[in-house]
Chain A
Amino acid sequence: MSESVYDRIGGEAAVDAAVDLFYRKVLADDRINQFFEGVDMDRQAGKQKAFLTMALGGPHNYTGKDMRDGHAHLVARGLNDSHFDAVIENLGATLTELGVPADLIGEAAAIAESTRNDVLGR
Protein backbone atom coordinates (compact mmCIF):
# COMPACT_ATOMS: atom_id res chain seq x y z
CA MET A 1 0.00 0.00 0.00
CA SER A 2 1.39 3.41 -0.89
CA GLU A 3 2.01 5.96 1.84
CA SER A 4 -0.99 8.18 2.58
CA VAL A 5 -1.06 11.92 1.94
CA TYR A 6 -1.36 12.19 5.72
CA ASP A 7 2.06 10.60 6.24
CA ARG A 8 3.69 12.36 3.31
CA ILE A 9 2.78 15.85 4.48
CA GLY A 10 3.87 15.24 8.06
CA GLY A 11 1.06 13.46 9.90
CA GLU A 12 -0.61 14.92 12.95
CA ALA A 13 1.61 18.01 13.16
CA ALA A 14 0.57 19.00 9.64
CA VAL A 15 -3.09 18.50 10.47
CA ASP A 16 -2.71 20.61 13.61
CA ALA A 17 -1.32 23.40 11.46
CA ALA A 18 -4.21 23.02 9.05
CA VAL A 19 -7.12 22.94 11.52
CA ASP A 20 -7.20 26.60 12.57
CA LEU A 21 -6.56 27.72 9.00
CA PHE A 22 -9.32 25.54 7.58
CA TYR A 23 -11.84 26.34 10.31
CA ARG A 24 -11.17 30.08 9.94
CA LYS A 25 -11.86 29.84 6.19
CA VAL A 26 -15.09 27.93 6.80
CA LEU A 27 -16.33 30.44 9.41
CA ALA A 28 -15.50 33.35 7.11
CA ASP A 29 -17.30 31.75 4.14
CA ASP A 30 -20.81 33.22 3.89
CA ARG A 31 -21.95 30.35 1.71
CA ILE A 32 -21.65 27.86 4.58
CA ASN A 33 -21.01 29.62 7.88
CA GLN A 34 -24.72 29.63 8.80
CA PHE A 35 -24.36 25.90 9.50
CA PHE A 36 -21.84 26.70 12.25
CA GLU A 37 -23.90 29.32 14.11
CA GLY A 38 -24.17 28.57 17.80
CA VAL A 39 -21.82 25.60 17.62
CA ASP A 40 -19.25 25.17 20.40
CA MET A 41 -16.01 26.16 18.69
CA ASP A 42 -13.65 23.91 20.64
CA ARG A 43 -15.73 20.84 19.98
CA GLN A 44 -16.21 21.81 16.35
CA ALA A 45 -12.46 22.26 15.86
CA GLY A 46 -12.01 18.68 17.06
CA LYS A 47 -14.44 17.51 14.40
CA GLN A 48 -12.65 19.61 11.78
CA LYS A 49 -9.40 17.94 12.75
CA ALA A 50 -10.97 14.51 12.45
CA PHE A 51 -12.36 15.49 9.03
CA LEU A 52 -8.99 16.75 7.79
CA THR A 53 -7.26 13.64 9.12
CA MET A 54 -9.72 11.46 7.26
CA ALA A 55 -9.50 13.48 4.03
CA LEU A 56 -5.73 13.16 4.13
CA GLY A 57 -5.95 9.40 4.51
CA GLY A 58 -4.91 9.38 8.16
CA PRO A 59 -6.24 7.21 10.98
CA HIS A 60 -9.98 7.34 11.59
CA ASN A 61 -12.86 5.04 12.41
CA TYR A 62 -15.67 6.91 10.68
CA THR A 63 -18.23 4.87 8.78
CA GLY A 64 -20.72 5.98 6.16
CA LYS A 65 -23.40 5.71 8.82
CA ASP A 66 -21.46 8.07 11.11
CA MET A 67 -21.33 10.59 8.25
CA ARG A 68 -25.08 10.28 7.66
CA ASP A 69 -26.05 10.50 11.33
CA GLY A 70 -23.63 13.33 11.99
CA HIS A 71 -24.97 15.54 9.21
CA ALA A 72 -28.68 14.62 9.17
CA HIS A 73 -29.63 17.72 11.21
CA LEU A 74 -27.81 19.90 8.67
CA VAL A 75 -29.42 18.19 5.67
CA ALA A 76 -32.76 18.98 7.34
CA ARG A 77 -31.64 22.62 7.38
CA GLY A 78 -30.89 22.59 3.65
CA LEU A 79 -27.32 21.29 3.36
CA ASN A 80 -26.77 20.48 -0.33
CA ASP A 81 -24.15 19.92 -3.02
CA SER A 82 -23.21 23.60 -3.29
CA HIS A 83 -22.28 23.65 0.42
CA PHE A 84 -20.32 20.43 0.07
CA ASP A 85 -18.46 21.97 -2.89
CA ALA A 86 -17.62 25.02 -0.79
CA VAL A 87 -16.10 22.83 1.94
CA ILE A 88 -13.96 20.98 -0.62
CA GLU A 89 -12.87 24.34 -2.01
CA ASN A 90 -11.82 25.52 1.47
CA LEU A 91 -9.98 22.25 2.00
CA GLY A 92 -8.04 22.83 -1.22
CA ALA A 93 -7.27 26.45 -0.37
CA THR A 94 -6.02 25.43 3.11
CA LEU A 95 -3.67 22.78 1.75
CA THR A 96 -2.45 25.13 -0.99
CA GLU A 97 -1.65 27.75 1.64
CA LEU A 98 0.37 25.14 3.55
CA GLY A 99 2.40 24.34 0.44
CA VAL A 100 0.97 20.88 -0.17
CA PRO A 101 1.61 19.84 -3.81
CA ALA A 102 -1.38 19.85 -6.18
CA ASP A 103 -1.43 16.09 -6.77
CA LEU A 104 -1.68 15.40 -3.03
CA ILE A 105 -4.47 17.98 -2.72
CA GLY A 106 -6.23 16.08 -5.50
CA GLU A 107 -5.97 12.86 -3.49
CA ALA A 108 -7.37 14.55 -0.39
CA ALA A 109 -10.23 16.07 -2.37
CA ALA A 110 -11.03 12.63 -3.80
CA ILE A 111 -11.29 11.09 -0.32
CA ALA A 112 -13.52 13.93 0.85
CA GLU A 113 -15.56 13.55 -2.34
CA SER A 114 -16.16 9.87 -1.55
CA THR A 115 -18.21 10.89 1.51
CA ARG A 116 -20.53 13.22 -0.46
CA ASN A 117 -23.58 10.96 -0.70
CA ASP A 118 -23.38 9.88 2.94
CA VAL A 119 -22.94 13.46 4.19
CA LEU A 120 -25.88 14.65 2.09
CA GLY A 121 -27.99 11.69 3.21
CA ARG A 122 -28.51 10.12 -0.23
Chain B
Amino acid sequence: MTVTFQGQQYRLQEQETVLDCLLRHGVVIPNSCRSGICQTCLMKAVSGGVPGTAQKGLKQTWREQQYFLACSWRPEQDVEVALTDEKTLPHLEAEVLSREYLNDLIVRLRLQPQQTFDYRPGQFIHLQCGDDNTLVRSYSLASVPAQDQALEIHVRLVPDGRMSGWIHQECQPGQQLLFSGPYGECYYMPGHEQQGLLLLATGSGLAPLWGIVRDAIDQGHTGPIRLFHGAPSADELYLVDELRRLDEEYEQFTYIPCLDGEDAGDFIVTQPDLFCAGRVQDQALEYQPDLKGWRVYLCGNPGMVNEAKRKVFLAGTALAEIHADPFVSPYSA
Protein backbone atom coordinates (compact mmCIF):
# COMPACT_ATOMS: atom_id res chain seq x y z
CA MET B 1 0.00 0.00 0.00
CA THR B 2 1.16 3.52 -0.68
CA VAL B 3 0.44 7.09 0.36
CA THR B 4 0.72 9.59 -2.50
CA PHE B 5 1.65 13.13 -1.47
CA GLN B 6 2.76 15.96 -3.76
CA GLY B 7 3.26 13.52 -6.63
CA GLN B 8 5.48 11.13 -4.65
CA GLN B 9 4.49 7.64 -3.55
CA TYR B 10 5.50 6.47 -0.09
CA ARG B 11 5.25 2.83 1.00
CA LEU B 12 2.88 2.37 3.90
CA GLN B 13 3.61 -0.24 6.55
CA GLU B 14 0.99 -2.45 8.12
CA GLN B 15 -1.19 -0.46 10.58
CA GLU B 16 0.83 2.71 10.00
CA THR B 17 -0.82 6.13 10.16
CA VAL B 18 -0.54 8.56 7.25
CA LEU B 19 1.38 10.92 9.55
CA ASP B 20 3.90 8.29 10.69
CA CYS B 21 4.40 7.13 7.11
CA LEU B 22 5.15 10.63 5.82
CA LEU B 23 7.36 11.53 8.78
CA ARG B 24 9.28 8.27 8.43
CA HIS B 25 10.08 9.24 4.84
CA GLY B 26 11.32 12.65 5.92
CA VAL B 27 8.26 14.61 4.76
CA VAL B 28 7.57 17.55 7.08
CA ILE B 29 3.96 17.57 8.24
CA PRO B 30 3.02 19.87 11.14
CA ASN B 31 1.90 17.79 14.12
CA SER B 32 1.64 18.02 17.87
CA CYS B 33 -0.39 15.65 20.03
CA ARG B 34 -0.40 12.65 17.64
CA SER B 35 -3.55 11.48 19.45
CA GLY B 36 -6.25 12.84 17.17
CA ILE B 37 -7.06 15.77 19.40
CA CYS B 38 -5.13 18.95 18.59
CA GLN B 39 -5.88 18.95 14.82
CA THR B 40 -2.41 20.25 13.96
CA CYS B 41 -1.90 17.45 11.40
CA LEU B 42 -5.09 18.30 9.49
CA MET B 43 -4.90 17.11 5.85
CA LYS B 44 -7.23 16.48 2.97
CA ALA B 45 -7.85 13.21 1.13
CA VAL B 46 -7.71 13.45 -2.65
CA SER B 47 -8.64 9.78 -3.05
CA GLY B 48 -9.43 6.94 -0.68
CA GLY B 49 -12.47 6.90 1.61
CA VAL B 50 -11.69 8.59 4.91
CA PRO B 51 -13.06 6.61 7.89
CA GLY B 52 -14.99 8.43 10.61
CA THR B 53 -12.27 7.63 13.13
CA ALA B 54 -9.89 9.93 11.23
CA GLN B 55 -12.40 12.80 11.27
CA LYS B 56 -13.28 12.81 14.94
CA GLY B 57 -13.94 16.32 16.23
CA LEU B 58 -13.70 18.02 12.82
CA LYS B 59 -16.25 20.61 11.74
CA GLN B 60 -19.04 19.28 9.56
CA THR B 61 -17.87 21.40 6.64
CA TRP B 62 -14.38 19.93 6.89
CA ARG B 63 -15.69 16.36 7.13
CA GLU B 64 -17.74 16.90 3.99
CA GLN B 65 -14.61 17.94 2.16
CA GLN B 66 -12.64 14.85 3.15
CA TYR B 67 -10.43 16.57 5.70
CA PHE B 68 -8.84 14.15 8.14
CA LEU B 69 -6.27 13.94 10.92
CA ALA B 70 -3.10 12.35 9.57
CA CYS B 71 -2.25 10.84 12.97
CA SER B 72 -5.56 8.98 13.09
CA TRP B 73 -5.87 7.38 9.65
CA ARG B 74 -4.44 3.90 9.11
CA PRO B 75 -5.41 3.31 5.47
CA GLU B 76 -6.28 -0.14 4.24
CA GLN B 77 -5.85 0.80 0.58
CA ASP B 78 -3.75 3.16 -1.54
CA VAL B 79 -4.55 6.77 -0.77
CA GLU B 80 -3.61 10.20 -2.07
CA VAL B 81 -3.44 13.07 0.41
CA ALA B 82 -2.71 16.78 0.36
CA LEU B 83 -2.15 19.65 2.73
CA THR B 84 -5.34 21.63 3.22
CA ASP B 85 -4.12 24.71 1.35
CA GLU B 86 -2.94 22.92 -1.77
CA LYS B 87 -4.68 23.50 -5.04
CA THR B 88 -5.92 19.99 -5.52
CA LEU B 89 -8.84 20.52 -7.86
CA PRO B 90 -8.67 20.37 -11.64
CA HIS B 91 -8.84 23.44 -13.81
CA LEU B 92 -12.13 24.43 -15.39
CA GLU B 93 -13.01 27.06 -17.96
CA ALA B 94 -15.42 29.94 -17.64
CA GLU B 95 -16.53 32.60 -20.06
CA VAL B 96 -16.74 36.19 -18.89
CA LEU B 97 -20.39 37.21 -19.34
CA SER B 98 -20.35 40.71 -17.94
CA ARG B 99 -18.36 43.22 -16.01
CA GLU B 100 -20.05 46.08 -14.14
CA TYR B 101 -19.00 48.57 -11.52
CA LEU B 102 -20.78 48.22 -8.16
CA ASN B 103 -19.03 51.35 -6.91
CA ASP B 104 -15.87 53.25 -7.90
CA LEU B 105 -13.57 50.48 -6.73
CA ILE B 106 -15.47 47.23 -6.98
CA VAL B 107 -16.33 45.33 -10.15
CA ARG B 108 -18.89 42.54 -10.40
CA LEU B 109 -17.72 39.84 -12.79
CA ARG B 110 -20.18 37.24 -14.02
CA LEU B 111 -18.62 34.02 -15.27
CA GLN B 112 -20.28 31.11 -17.05
CA PRO B 113 -18.56 27.80 -16.25
CA GLN B 114 -18.12 25.66 -19.36
CA GLN B 115 -18.34 22.45 -17.33
CA THR B 116 -20.60 21.30 -14.52
CA PHE B 117 -19.57 23.13 -11.38
CA ASP B 118 -21.15 22.47 -7.97
CA TYR B 119 -20.47 24.90 -5.15
CA ARG B 120 -22.00 26.56 -2.11
CA PRO B 121 -22.43 30.34 -1.98
CA GLY B 122 -19.56 31.74 0.07
CA GLN B 123 -16.96 29.23 -1.09
CA PHE B 124 -14.12 30.57 -3.21
CA ILE B 125 -12.33 29.83 -6.47
CA HIS B 126 -8.78 30.30 -7.68
CA LEU B 127 -9.01 32.39 -10.83
CA GLN B 128 -6.22 32.58 -13.39
CA CYS B 129 -5.81 35.72 -15.40
CA GLY B 130 -3.30 37.81 -17.23
CA ASP B 131 -1.93 37.41 -20.69
CA ASP B 132 -0.29 34.05 -20.00
CA ASN B 133 -2.44 32.80 -17.10
CA THR B 134 0.38 33.35 -14.64
CA LEU B 135 -1.69 35.34 -12.16
CA VAL B 136 -3.78 33.39 -9.68
CA ARG B 137 -6.00 34.98 -7.07
CA SER B 138 -8.80 33.74 -4.82
CA TYR B 139 -12.31 35.18 -5.11
CA SER B 140 -15.38 34.30 -3.08
CA LEU B 141 -18.56 33.29 -4.85
CA ALA B 142 -21.42 35.74 -4.30
CA SER B 143 -23.86 33.86 -6.53
CA VAL B 144 -26.49 31.36 -5.41
CA PRO B 145 -26.84 28.32 -7.72
CA ALA B 146 -30.63 28.22 -7.25
CA GLN B 147 -30.98 31.87 -8.36
CA ASP B 148 -28.03 32.64 -10.55
CA GLN B 149 -26.92 30.72 -13.63
CA ALA B 150 -23.53 32.37 -13.71
CA LEU B 151 -20.85 32.63 -11.07
CA GLU B 152 -20.54 36.06 -9.50
CA ILE B 153 -17.39 37.49 -7.97
CA HIS B 154 -16.57 40.96 -6.65
CA VAL B 155 -13.15 42.33 -7.47
CA ARG B 156 -11.82 45.31 -5.57
CA LEU B 157 -9.24 47.45 -7.35
CA VAL B 158 -6.09 47.09 -5.29
CA PRO B 159 -3.44 49.82 -5.75
CA ASP B 160 -0.73 48.32 -8.01
CA GLY B 161 -2.61 45.00 -7.94
CA ARG B 162 -1.77 43.15 -11.16
CA MET B 163 -4.78 40.87 -11.13
CA SER B 164 -7.38 43.41 -10.09
CA GLY B 165 -5.83 45.93 -12.49
CA TRP B 166 -6.15 43.43 -15.33
CA ILE B 167 -9.77 42.66 -14.44
CA HIS B 168 -10.69 46.31 -14.15
CA GLN B 169 -8.94 47.43 -17.33
CA GLU B 170 -8.49 44.60 -19.81
CA CYS B 171 -10.94 41.83 -19.04
CA GLN B 172 -13.79 41.75 -21.60
CA PRO B 173 -17.02 39.76 -22.00
CA GLY B 174 -16.42 36.71 -24.17
CA GLN B 175 -12.99 36.00 -22.76
CA GLN B 176 -12.25 32.52 -21.45
CA LEU B 177 -10.65 32.25 -18.02
CA LEU B 178 -9.31 29.23 -16.15
CA PHE B 179 -10.33 28.57 -12.59
CA SER B 180 -10.44 25.81 -9.99
CA GLY B 181 -12.59 25.23 -6.95
CA PRO B 182 -14.70 25.34 -4.97
CA TYR B 183 -12.62 25.81 -1.84
CA GLY B 184 -13.33 26.85 1.72
CA GLU B 185 -15.82 26.14 4.44
CA CYS B 186 -17.46 29.54 4.81
CA TYR B 187 -21.01 28.71 3.71
CA TYR B 188 -24.54 28.21 5.00
CA MET B 189 -25.52 24.81 6.35
CA PRO B 190 -29.18 23.91 6.79
CA GLY B 191 -30.35 22.03 9.87
CA HIS B 192 -30.51 24.82 12.42
CA GLU B 193 -33.12 27.09 10.87
CA GLN B 194 -33.84 29.02 14.06
CA GLN B 195 -30.25 29.78 14.98
CA GLY B 196 -29.13 33.41 14.97
CA LEU B 197 -26.72 34.26 12.15
CA LEU B 198 -24.36 37.18 12.52
CA LEU B 199 -22.42 38.21 9.41
CA LEU B 200 -19.67 40.84 9.38
CA ALA B 201 -17.96 42.14 6.24
CA THR B 202 -15.62 44.94 5.29
CA GLY B 203 -15.11 46.04 1.68
CA SER B 204 -15.49 43.28 -0.92
CA GLY B 205 -15.76 40.76 1.94
CA LEU B 206 -19.45 41.36 1.31
CA ALA B 207 -19.29 39.01 -1.70
CA PRO B 208 -19.47 35.67 0.14
CA LEU B 209 -21.98 37.06 2.65
CA TRP B 210 -24.26 38.34 -0.13
CA GLY B 211 -24.32 34.72 -1.29
CA ILE B 212 -24.70 33.19 2.16
CA VAL B 213 -27.54 35.53 3.21
CA ARG B 214 -29.60 34.79 0.09
CA ASP B 215 -28.83 31.07 0.39
CA ALA B 216 -29.98 31.03 4.04
CA ILE B 217 -33.23 32.81 3.17
CA ASP B 218 -33.74 30.46 0.20
CA GLN B 219 -33.28 27.43 2.39
CA GLY B 220 -35.93 28.64 4.83
CA HIS B 221 -33.83 30.05 7.62
CA THR B 222 -36.23 31.61 10.13
CA GLY B 223 -33.87 32.76 12.89
CA PRO B 224 -32.46 36.31 12.89
CA ILE B 225 -29.92 37.06 10.13
CA ARG B 226 -27.93 40.22 10.88
CA LEU B 227 -25.54 41.57 8.26
CA PHE B 228 -23.10 44.36 9.18
CA HIS B 229 -21.16 45.79 6.23
CA GLY B 230 -18.41 48.27 7.00
CA ALA B 231 -16.59 50.85 4.89
CA PRO B 232 -14.90 54.19 5.55
CA SER B 233 -17.54 56.16 3.65
CA ALA B 234 -20.96 55.65 2.09
CA ASP B 235 -19.61 55.61 -1.47
CA GLU B 236 -17.42 52.64 -0.62
CA LEU B 237 -20.41 50.54 0.37
CA TYR B 238 -22.20 48.66 -2.43
CA LEU B 239 -25.35 46.61 -3.11
CA VAL B 240 -26.96 48.99 -0.62
CA ASP B 241 -30.31 49.20 -2.44
CA GLU B 242 -30.48 45.44 -2.97
CA LEU B 243 -29.73 44.77 0.70
CA ARG B 244 -32.26 47.34 1.91
CA ARG B 245 -34.89 45.71 -0.29
CA LEU B 246 -34.05 42.29 1.14
CA ASP B 247 -34.28 43.80 4.64
CA GLU B 248 -37.77 45.12 3.88
CA GLU B 249 -38.94 41.93 2.25
CA TYR B 250 -37.75 39.44 4.88
CA GLU B 251 -38.59 40.04 8.52
CA GLN B 252 -35.76 37.84 9.80
CA PHE B 253 -33.10 39.75 7.85
CA THR B 254 -31.50 43.00 9.06
CA TYR B 255 -28.93 44.99 7.10
CA ILE B 256 -26.75 47.41 9.04
CA PRO B 257 -24.27 49.46 6.97
CA CYS B 258 -21.49 50.88 9.14
CA LEU B 259 -19.20 53.80 8.32
CA ASP B 260 -15.94 54.25 10.19
CA GLY B 261 -14.00 56.83 8.16
CA GLU B 262 -12.98 60.26 9.43
CA ASP B 263 -15.89 62.11 7.89
CA ALA B 264 -18.44 59.41 8.61
CA GLY B 265 -19.68 61.06 11.81
CA ASP B 266 -20.81 64.30 10.14
CA PHE B 267 -22.35 62.40 7.30
CA ILE B 268 -24.36 60.15 9.59
CA VAL B 269 -25.71 63.05 11.63
CA THR B 270 -27.68 64.09 8.58
CA GLN B 271 -28.95 60.55 7.89
CA PRO B 272 -29.03 58.78 11.25
CA ASP B 273 -31.54 56.13 10.27
CA LEU B 274 -29.59 55.03 7.18
CA PHE B 275 -26.11 54.32 8.54
CA CYS B 276 -24.36 53.32 11.77
CA ALA B 277 -21.21 55.14 12.89
CA GLY B 278 -18.33 52.89 13.86
CA ARG B 279 -16.57 49.66 13.02
CA VAL B 280 -18.60 46.53 12.27
CA GLN B 281 -17.04 44.50 15.09
CA ASP B 282 -17.99 47.17 17.66
CA GLN B 283 -21.47 47.82 16.27
CA ALA B 284 -22.36 44.14 16.06
CA LEU B 285 -21.36 43.51 19.67
CA GLU B 286 -23.25 46.56 20.85
CA TYR B 287 -26.33 45.38 18.99
CA GLN B 288 -25.99 41.77 20.12
CA PRO B 289 -23.81 41.55 23.27
CA ASP B 290 -24.72 37.94 24.03
CA LEU B 291 -23.83 35.62 21.14
CA LYS B 292 -24.29 32.30 22.86
CA GLY B 293 -25.79 29.86 20.37
CA TRP B 294 -25.18 32.10 17.34
CA ARG B 295 -23.32 31.22 14.16
CA VAL B 296 -20.94 33.88 12.93
CA TYR B 297 -19.45 34.58 9.47
CA LEU B 298 -16.52 37.00 9.16
CA CYS B 299 -15.15 38.17 5.81
CA GLY B 300 -12.90 41.06 4.93
CA ASN B 301 -9.63 42.60 6.03
CA PRO B 302 -7.59 40.37 8.36
CA GLY B 303 -7.47 42.99 11.12
CA MET B 304 -11.26 43.06 11.38
CA VAL B 305 -11.60 39.28 11.02
CA ASN B 306 -9.08 38.49 13.75
CA GLU B 307 -10.40 41.06 16.19
CA ALA B 308 -14.02 40.11 15.56
CA LYS B 309 -13.24 36.43 15.92
CA ARG B 310 -11.87 36.99 19.40
CA LYS B 311 -14.72 39.31 20.36
CA VAL B 312 -17.56 37.05 19.25
CA PHE B 313 -15.88 34.09 20.91
CA LEU B 314 -15.64 35.99 24.21
CA ALA B 315 -19.29 37.00 23.73
CA GLY B 316 -20.29 33.35 23.82
CA THR B 317 -20.11 31.99 20.25
CA ALA B 318 -18.69 28.46 20.17
CA LEU B 319 -15.43 28.36 18.24
CA ALA B 320 -16.84 25.71 15.90
CA GLU B 321 -19.63 28.14 14.97
CA ILE B 322 -17.27 30.88 13.78
CA HIS B 323 -16.62 30.77 10.04
CA ALA B 324 -13.95 33.18 8.94
CA ASP B 325 -12.93 34.25 5.48
CA PRO B 326 -11.12 31.17 4.27
CA PHE B 327 -8.34 32.90 2.32
CA VAL B 328 -6.25 32.36 5.43
CA SER B 329 -5.69 28.63 5.32
CA PRO B 330 -5.28 26.42 8.37
CA TYR B 331 -1.57 26.21 7.57
CA SER B 332 -0.78 29.92 7.61
CA ALA B 333 -1.30 30.36 11.37
Q: List residues of A whose CB falls within 8 A of some B CB.
A: 12, 16, 19-20, 23-24, 27-28, 38-43, 45-47, 49-50, 53, 59-62, 66, 70
Decide if B189 is an interface residue (CB 8 Å cutoff). Answer: no
Closest-by-CB residue of A relative to B33 is A50
- Known A39-B333, A42-B319; judge A50-B313 contact (CB<8 A): no
B175 CB, nearest partner CB in chain A, Å = 37
Closest-by-CB residue of B relative to A23 is B319
Q: List residues of B whose CB falls within 8 A of some A CB.
A: 32-35, 37-40, 56-57, 306, 309-310, 313-314, 318-319, 322, 328, 330, 333
Bound-state Cα–Cα, A19 to B318, Å: 10
B328 CB, nearest partner CB in chain A, Å = 8
Q: Do most interface residues of chain A lie in helix, strand or loop, or is the interface mixed?
A: helix
Judge whether A49 and B38 touch: CB under 8 Å.
Answer: yes
B155 CB, nearest partner CB in chain A, Å = 27
- Known A47-B38, A61-B33; judge A24-B309 contact (CB<8 A): no
B36 CB, nearest partner CB in chain A, Å = 8
Judge whether A43 and B40 touch: CB under 8 Å.
Answer: yes
Bound-state Cα–Cα, A62 to B31, Å: 11
Listed by A's residue number, 17 A-B pairs whose Cβ atoms lie within 8 Å are A12-B56, A19-B319, A27-B313, A27-B314, A39-B333, A42-B39, A43-B40, A45-B319, A46-B32, A46-B33, A46-B37, A46-B40, A50-B32, A50-B38, A53-B33, A53-B35, A70-B32
List B contacts of A53 (CB < 8 A).
Answer: 33, 35, 37
List B contacts of A66 (CB < 8 A).
Answer: 32
List A contacts of B39 (CB < 8 A).
Answer: 42-43, 46
List A contacts of B310 (CB < 8 A).
Answer: 27, 41
Judge whether B37 and A43 touch: CB under 8 Å.
Answer: no
